[in-house]
């Protein structure tokens, strides 16, 4: 985009921003003409985004906000998290920012001064749940206002739905006080401070470079044995059905060093498993380090995968990151999600196959089994290319597990096209599958280009058929594990039975009874959350395995002397 056009866009944005948010002005002035709006509002500088000018520095000067506002003052925040793992991690970033400013956290509604709802916009169903929650919060706020005038409740909506609906949220839902998009969490203390004087505050600017690399997330559940690390934000893929590029903005990667440091810190704090998060981890690239000598030859195009955006050149890639992280924390399990099938370089498969602590479960979201649907979805691969990749992955990492996302009922999906999704699911043995009926989202290319013409009743039928097939197949897959020994990381206890509950390498739940088993130094001890235990599988359903615990172990010890192919078959 030319500098002139970019400047015009930013001017437009700044004028829109001021006019829609006139309640934000500290002196209460009502703005009149468009020119006045621009003059009195924040300068263009405040909206420039890019490498040279970060949008929000620590405690930025923002003209429409009063100076010297007190931020936290021990106000208690109640978090509600909807959506994906990335949202959970974002909430931990938000909590880290607020904690530093003197806010407190509560899990009791009655104690809360502020409700922050981390929202999801990926499907209509996700948004409906949040509207219901807002109904409840509106009532709570009203009752508090009647009961206790000195302790008003404030409501903030954060994340993707906030970004999607922007100020429309406040117009539609008068109870909302703060709207903050995924790139404006550093601004939250100020936005919340503004609400103390009854103002409504909105910041939905997307950034080109915000990665929150310097914010160490504070985990909401300190007892959890696993943690998430965001390695990148945004998505540049523009699959035609997906709202994510519009709500989370352009793709940007966090510096490799900050990720490795965070992994080490978590290991020091006793965390046993980390999941590296990104919308498309295989396009991770840290161009700040070693830009020349780590250049990779991109062979993907030759294998039948194409990409809609110009790939960035140079820098350290996901294989380098996996290599460094897994070496830095050899006693921790390392997982990652999600990987776009069009971007799967051999180097990544190589690192996974070599490192015992990288879980051998690959999330390869197919989305559909039909080449024509995949074309309409703009996924950049055909059914054949996907199946070839599956073969290649299986040959490179024997015994590898696979998971997927599938959508049924996408625009124009015929019975024949849907049957191709069913045959793909039949052909590929997925250990885990996330199955969705298509939900049309405004702004997406599909919304502009296609008709959401598969009736809801058909979507439902197709969805049920996918679920049924997946259950039958995963039950059979799980049953084939009976007699094998799995390394299980204990997470806690199963709510219904009180048995111990953990996960195997394929993220499948495994339950077993508490008892004393052999410890690593030869004694006999009970098991507890955070322990790695070798468990012999004795029973299987479609989503849970049962077993008998054998002995305490560790990632290093369990896999010592056995290659991955053998260890999967380990029978005792």
Name every residue whose Cβ is closer than 8 Å to that of residue 188 and which is 6 or more positions away in sequence. Answer: 94, 97, 98, 156, 158, 178, 180
The answer to whether 191 touches 199, Cβ cutoff 8 Å, is no
Binding partner of 237, given ligand SF4, ligand 5AD, none, CB within 5-8 angstroms per partner class: ligand SF4
> Minimum distance from CB of 426 to ligand SF4 (Å)?
23
Task: Name all contacts of 444-452 with Cβ < 8 Å and 24+ positions apart.
Answer: 444/240, 444/241, 444/242, 444/243, 444/246, 445/238, 445/240, 445/378, 446/240, 446/241, 446/376, 446/377, 446/410, 446/411, 449/240, 450/240, 450/376, 450/411, 450/412, 451/411, 451/412, 452/411
Of the candidates 296, 308, 292, 389, the residue with the CA atom closest to the CA atom of residue 341: 389
The item of ligand 5AD, ligand SF4, none sharing an interface with residue 279, based on CB under 5 to 8 Å by kind, is: ligand SF4
253 binds ligand 5AD (CB under 6 A): no
Out of 86, 193, 239, 351, the only residue in the binding site for ligand SF4 (CB under 6 A) is: 239
Tokens 């793709």 belong to 251
Minimum separation from the CB atom of position 338 to ligand 5AD (A): 7
C-alpha to C-alpha distances, 503 to 64, 125, 337, 386, 544, nearest whole angstrom: 50, 28, 17, 28, 9
**Binding flag, residue 200, ligand SF4 (CB under 6 A):** no
Q: Interior CA angle at 60 toward 29 and 101, to 5°?
A: 105
Binding-site size, ligand SF4 (CB under 6 A): 10
Residue 485 near residue 535 (C-beta atoms within 8 A):
yes
Residue 204 Cβ vs ligand SF4, minimum distance, rounded to whole Å? 19
Binding range to ligand SF4, per CB under 6 A, among 65-73, 99-107, 239-247, 543-551: 239-247
Question: 49 in helix, strand or coil?
Answer: coil
Q: Does 337 bind ligand SF4 (CB under 6 A)?
A: no
What crossing angle do the helices spanning 415-427 and 456-479 adopt, rounded to 10°?
10
Residue 503 touches which of ligand SF4, ligand 5AD, none (Cβ within 5-8 Å per kind) = none
Q: What is the smallest separation between the CB atom of 471 and ligand 5AD, expressed in angstroms?
A: 18
- Structure-token match 């013409």, residue found: 453
- With CB atoms as reference, the residue minimizing the distance to ligand SF4 is 242
Rounded Cα–Cα distance for residues 101 and 295 (Å): 42
Residue recorded with tokens 């806690």: 492
Residue 5 in 3-state DSSP?
helix
Return the residue matching tokens 């006693």: 331
Find the binding residues for ligand 5AD in span 518-537 (CB under 6 A).
Answer: none
d(CA 458, CA 469) in angstroms, rounded, equals 17
439 binds, among ligand SF4, ligand 5AD, none (CB under 5 to 8 A by kind): ligand 5AD
Closest approach, Cβ 434 to ligand 5AD, in A, equals: 7
- Using the rule CB under 6 A, give the single segment among 92-100, 237-245, 266-274, 532-540 that binds ligand SF4: 237-245
What is the rounded CA–CA span in Å between residue 366 and residue 430? 11
246 lines the binding site for ligand 5AD (CB under 6 A): no
Is 64 a residue that touches ligand 5AD (CB under 6 A)?
no
* Residue 473 interacting with ligand 5AD (CB under 6 A): no
| Angle formed by the axes of helices 346-354 and 383-396, nearest 10° | 30
- Rounded to 5 degrees, φ, ψ at 154 are -115, 145
| Parallel, antiparallel or unpaired: strands 232-233 and 252-253 | antiparallel
Nearer to ligand SF4, 238 or 548 (CB): 238
Under rule CB under 6 A, residue 340 binds ligand SF4: yes
Of the candidate spans 12-20, 190-198, 434-442, 558-566, the one that interacts with ligand 5AD by CB under 6 A turns out to be 434-442
122 lies in the binding site for ligand 5AD (CB under 6 A): yes
Strands 114-119 and 76-81: parallel
By CB under 6 A, tell whether 484 contacts ligand SF4: no
Q: Say whether residue 242 binds ligand SF4 (CB under 6 A).
A: yes
Omega cis (within 30) before 338: yes
Judged by CB under 6 A, the stretch of 151-159, 174-182, 230-238, 270-278 that binds ligand SF4 is: 230-238
Q: Which one of the spans 157-165, 231-239, 426-434, 501-509 is the region binding ligand SF4 (CB under 6 A)?
A: 231-239
Least gap, CB of 298 to ligand SF4 (angstroms): 18
Out of 112, 118, 188, 235, the only residue in the binding site for ligand SF4 (CB under 6 A) is 235
**403 near ligand SF4, judged by CB under 6 A:** no
Partners of 571 in the β-ladder: 484
Based on the shown chain and the rule CB under 6 A, indicate whether residue 380 belongs to the binding site for ligand 5AD. Answer: no
Interaction partner, residue 433 (ligand 5AD, ligand SF4, none; CB < 5-8 Å by kind): none
Tell me the closest approach of the beta carbon of residue 120 to ligand SF4, in angstroms.
Answer: 12
> Quick one: 311 or 497, whose CB is closer to ligand SF4?
311
Report the residue from 305, 436, 512, 564 that binds ligand 5AD according to the rule CB under 6 A: 436
Asked whether position 322 contacts ligand 5AD by CB under 6 A, the answer is no
List the single partner that 436 binds among ligand SF4, ligand 5AD, none, CB under 5 to 8 Å by kind: ligand 5AD
Residues between 246 and 305 with contacts to ligand SF4, criterion CB under 6 A: 279-280
Q: Closest separation between CB of residue 299 and ligand SF4, Å?
A: 20
Which of 75, 123, 186, 248 contacts ligand 5AD by CB under 6 A? 123
- Does 441 interact with ligand 5AD (rule: CB under 6 A)? yes
Q: How far is the CB of 286 from ligand SF4 (least distance, A)?
A: 20
Can you tell me whether residue 517 is helix, strand or coil?
Answer: strand
Q: Indicate left, alpha or beta for 380 from its phi (over 0: left) and psi (-120 to 50: alpha).
A: left
- Which of 213, 244, 329, 373 forms a contact with ligand SF4 (CB under 6 A)? 244
Non-local (6+) Cβ contacts of 541 within 8 A are: 475, 478
Tokens 């498993």 correspond to: 273
Task: List CB contacts of 318: < 8 A, sequence separation 6 or more.
Answer: 281, 282, 283, 284, 345, 348
Which residues of the shown chain bind ligand SF4 in the complex (CB under 6 A)?
Answer: 235, 237-239, 242, 244-245, 279-280, 340
Which residues of the shown chain bind ligand 5AD in the complex (CB under 6 A)?
Answer: 122-123, 241-242, 365, 367, 405, 407, 436, 438-439, 441
């Amino acid at each position: 985009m030319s500098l002139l056009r970019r400047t015009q866009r930013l001017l437009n944005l700044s004028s829109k921003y001021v006019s829609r948010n006139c309640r934000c002005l500290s002196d209460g002035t009502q703005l009149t003409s468009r020119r006045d709006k621009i003059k009195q509002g924040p300068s263009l500088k405040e909206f420039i985004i890019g490498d040279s000018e970060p949008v929000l520095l620590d405690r930025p000067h923002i003209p429409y906000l009063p100076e010297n506002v007190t931020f936290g003052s021990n106000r208690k925040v109640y978090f509600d998290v909807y959506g994906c793992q990335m949202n959970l991690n974002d909430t931990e970033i938000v909590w880290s920012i607020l904690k530093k400013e003197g806010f407190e956290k509560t899990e009791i509604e009655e104690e809360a001064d502020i409700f922050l709802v981390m929202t999801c916009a990926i499907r209509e169903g996700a948004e409906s749940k949040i509207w219901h929650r807002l109904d409840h919060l509106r009532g709570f706020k009203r009752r508090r206002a009647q009961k206790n005038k000195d302790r008003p409740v404030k409501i903030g909506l954060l994340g993707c739905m906030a970004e999607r609906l922007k100020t429309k949220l406040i117009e539609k839902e008068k109870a909302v006080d703060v709207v903050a998009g995924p790139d404006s969490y550093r601004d939250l203390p100020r936005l919340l401070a503004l609400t103390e004087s009854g103002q409504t505050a909105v910041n939905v600017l997307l950034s080109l470079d915000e990665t929150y690399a310097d914010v160490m997330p504070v985990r909401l559940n300190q007892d959890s044995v696993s943690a998430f690390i965001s390695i990148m934000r945004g998505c540049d893929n523009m699959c035609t059905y997906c709202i994510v590029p519009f709500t989370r903005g352009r793709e940007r990667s966090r510096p490799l060093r900050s990720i490795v440091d965070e992994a080490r810190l978590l290991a020091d704090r006793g965390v046993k498993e980390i999941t590296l998060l990104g919308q498309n981890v295989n396009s991770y690239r840290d161009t700040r380090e070693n830009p020349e000598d780590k250049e990779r030859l991109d062979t993907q195009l030759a294998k039948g995968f194409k990409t809609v955006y110009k790939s960035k050149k140079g820098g350290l890639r996901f294989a380098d990151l996996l290599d460094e992280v897994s070496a830095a924390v050899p006693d921790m399990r390392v997982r990652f999600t999600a990987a776009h099938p069009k971007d799967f370089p051999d180097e990544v498969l190589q690192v996974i196959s070599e490192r015992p602590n990288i879980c051998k479960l690959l999330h390869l979201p197919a989305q559909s089994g039909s080449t024509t649907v995949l074309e309409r979805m703009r996924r950049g691969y055909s059914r054949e290319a996907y199946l070839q990749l599956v073969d290649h992955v299986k040959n490179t990492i024997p015994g590898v597990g696979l998971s997927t996302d599938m959508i049924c009922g996408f625009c124009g999906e015929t019975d024949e096209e849907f049957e191709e999704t069913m045959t793909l699911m039949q052909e590929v043995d997925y250990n885990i599958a996330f199955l969705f009926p298509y939900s049309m989202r405004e702004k997406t290319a599909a919304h502009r280009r296609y008709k959401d013409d598969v009736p809801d009743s058909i979507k439902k039928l197709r969805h049920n058929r996918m679920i049924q097939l997946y259950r039958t197949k995963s039950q059979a897959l799980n049953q084939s594990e009976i007699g094998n020994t799995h390394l299980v990381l204990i997470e806690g206890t199963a709510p219904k039975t009180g048995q111990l509950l953990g996960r195997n390498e394929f993220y499948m739940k495994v339950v077993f009874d508490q008892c004393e088993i052999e410890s690593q130094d030869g004694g006999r001890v009970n098991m507890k959350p955070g322990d790695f235990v070798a468990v012999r599988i004795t029973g299987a359903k479609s989503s849970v395995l049962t077993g008998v615990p054998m002995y305490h172990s560790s990632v290093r010890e369990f896999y010592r002397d056995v290659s991955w192919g053998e260890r999967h078959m380990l029978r005792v």
